[in-house]
Amino acid sequence: MSAMEKNLAEQPLLAGRQAPNASFRKPLACGLLLLGTASFFSHGYVSDLVTRQWRSSAPISFEAQCPQASPLIPSKSTKELDDAWEYLSSDAFFNKSIEHLSGAVQIPTQSYDDMGDVGIDPRWDIFHSFASYLEETFPLIYKTLDVEKVNTHGLLFTWKGTEAELKPTVLMAHQDVVPVPDSTINQWTYPPFSGHWDGKFVWGRGASDCKNQLMGILEAVDVLINAGFQPKRTLVLSFGFDEEISGGEGAEHLAQKLLKRYGHGGAAIIVDEGAANLEGWGANWAIPGVGEKGYVDVLVTVRMPGGHSSIPPAHNGIGVAAELISLIEANPYEPKLDESNPYLSLLYCGAEHAPEFPKGLKHLLRKRAHQSTCAKKGNKDELALEAAKAGLEIKYLFTTSQAVDLINGGVKTNALPERTTFTINHRINIGSSVDAVLFHVAQLFTPIVKKHNLTLNAFNNATETPSSLTLSTRPEHLEPAPVTPTGPGTPFQILSGTTRALYGEDLLVAPGVMTGNTDTRYYWGLSEHIFRYSMGWDREQEGLGRIHTVDERIGGKAHRDVTRWVFGFVRNMDEADL
pLDDT digits (tens, 9 = 90+) for 433-456: 999 999 999 999 999 999 999 999
**CA separation, residue 503 to residues 59, 277, 286, 507, 536 (Å):** 34, 10, 10, 7, 10
For residue 35, the model assigns a pLDDT of 28
For residue 20, the model assigns a pLDDT of 32
- The closest alpha carbon to 471, from 440, 500, 496, 495, belongs to 440
By the 8 A CB rule, do 26 and 40 touch?
Answer: no
Residue 460 clears pLDDT 90, i.e. is over it: yes
545 in a structural domain: yes
158: helix, coil or strand? Answer: strand
**Residue 185 sits in the same domain as residue 251:** yes
Q: Based on the structure, what is the number of domains in the chain?
A: 2
For this structure, is 552 an active site residue? no
Residue 74 clears pLDDT 90, i.e. is over it: yes
**Residue 299 sits in the same domain as residue 444:** yes
Average pLDDT over residues 344-366: 90
What is the helix (H) or strand (E) element at residue 98, kind and residue range? helix 91-105
* 209 in a labelled binding site: yes
d(CA 271, CA 384): 30
Average pLDDT over residues 251-278: 96
**Residue 108 sits in the same domain as residue 200:** yes
Using pLDDT thresholds of 50, 70 and 90, give the confidence band for residue 393: confident
**Residue 467 sits in the same domain as residue 528:** no
**Residue 304 sits in the same domain as residue 447:** yes
* Residue 295: strand pairing partners: 427, 478
Sign, CA dihedral 131-135-141-147, equals positive
Residue 374, preceding peptide bond in cis (omega within 30° of 0): no
Condensed to tens digits (0 to 9), the pLDDT of residues 395-415 reads 998 999 999 999 999 999 999
Count Cα atoms within 13 angstroms, Cβ side, for 510.
37
Q: What phi, psi does 84 have (nearest 5°)? A: -65, -40
Q: What phi, psi does 491 have (nearest 5°)? A: -60, -20
228 in a structural domain: yes
Contact residues for 378 (Cβ-Cβ < 8 A; gap 6+): 21
Domain boundary among 479, 501, 526: 479
* 548 in a labelled binding site: yes
Q: What sections of 308-433 are H helices per DSSP?
A: 317-330, 343-353, 359-369, 382-388, 392-395
**Residue 302 sits in the same domain as residue 209:** no
d(CA 365, CA 342): 14
The pairing of beta strand 283-286 with beta strand 278-280: antiparallel
* 174 in a labelled binding site: yes
DSSP 18-53: PPTTS-SSPPPPTTEEEE-B-S-TTSSS--B---EE
By the 8 A CB rule, do 128 and 135 touch?
Answer: no
272 in a structural domain: no
User: Radius of gyration (Cα) for the chain, nearest Å?
Assistant: 25
**Residue 104 sits in the same domain as residue 245:** yes
d(CA 17, CA 11): 10
For residue 61, the model assigns a pLDDT of 52
* 561 in a labelled binding site: no
d(CA 463, CA 460): 9
Instruction: Pick the catalytic residue from 48, 176, 338, 339.
Output: 176
Average pLDDT over residues 552-574: 97
Per 3-state DSSP, the chain is made up of helix, strand and coil in percentages (nearest 5) of: 35, 20, 45
Using pLDDT thresholds of 50, 70 and 90, give the confidence band for residue 330: very high
d(CA 399, CA 318): 29
Q: Is 345 exposed, middle or buried (0-12, 13-18, 19+ CB in 10 A)?
A: buried
**More confidently predicted of 145 and 351:** 145
By the 8 A CB rule, do 223 and 87 touch?
Answer: yes
Condensed to tens digits (0 to 9), the pLDDT of residues 502-538 reads 999 999 998 887 888 899 999 999 999 999 999 999 8
Domain CATH for 452: 3.30.70.360
Residue 36 clears pLDDT 50, i.e. is over it: no
d(CA 299, CA 421): 7
d(CA 99, CA 219): 12
Residue 543 clears pLDDT 70, i.e. is over it: no
By the 8 A CB rule, do 389 and 419 touch?
Answer: no
- The closest alpha carbon to 274, from 342, 224, 220, belongs to 342
What is the helix (H) or strand (E) element at residue 87, kind and residue range? helix 79-88
**Residue 87 sits in the same domain as residue 155:** yes
* 244 in a labelled binding site: yes
227 in a structural domain: yes
Q: What phi, psi does 503 have (nearest 5°)? A: -105, -5
Least confident of 23-37, 182-196, 370-384, 539-553: 23-37
Domain boundary among 433, 456, 479: 479
Average pLDDT over residues 72-78: 95
User: What does the angle CA 480 – CA 486 – CA 492 come to, to the nearest 5 degrees?
Assistant: 110
362 in a structural domain: no
340 in a structural domain: no
Strand blocks (E) in 376-418: 401-409
**CA separation, residue 40 to residues 50, 426, 549 (Å):** 11, 20, 20
Strand blocks (E) in 115-257: 146-150, 154-159, 169-174, 201-203, 235-240
**Residue 10 sits in the same domain as residue 139:** no
Instruction: Pick the catalytic residue from 243, 339, 435, 519.
Output: 243
**CA separation, residue 74 to residues 85, 520, 573 (Å):** 11, 27, 9
241: helix, coil or strand? Answer: coil
**Residue 247 sits in the same domain as residue 115:** yes
Condensed to tens digits (0 to 9), the pLDDT of residues 189-228 reads 999 999 999 999 999 999 999 999 999 999 999 999 999 9
Residue 347 clears pLDDT 90, i.e. is over it: no
For residue 54, the model assigns a pLDDT of 27
- The closest alpha carbon to 342, from 331, 333, 334, 350, belongs to 350
d(CA 520, CA 291): 10
Q: What share of the chain has pLDDT > 70, as a percent?
A: 87
Residue 542 clears pLDDT 60, i.e. is over it: yes
Domain that holds residue 470: 1-30+295-333+400-479
For residue 511, the model assigns a pLDDT of 81
**Residue 304 sits in the same domain as residue 220:** no
Average pLDDT in the chain: 87
12 in a structural domain: yes
**Residue 150 sits in the same domain as residue 227:** yes
By the 8 A CB rule, do 28 and 8 touch?
Answer: no
* Residue 270: strand pairing partners: 170, 530
Domain CATH for 138: 3.40.630.10
200 in a structural domain: yes
Q: What share of the chain has pLDDT > 90, as a percent?
A: 75
For this structure, is 519 an active site residue? no
d(CA 198, CA 210): 19
Using pLDDT thresholds of 50, 70 and 90, give the confidence band for residue 171: very high
Average pLDDT over residues 263-290: 94
Domain boundary among 453, 479, 505: 479
- The closest alpha carbon to 267, from 497, 535, 520, 530, belongs to 530
For residue 339, the model assigns a pLDDT of 84
For residue 475, the model assigns a pLDDT of 87
Using pLDDT thresholds of 50, 70 and 90, give the confidence band for residue 26: very low
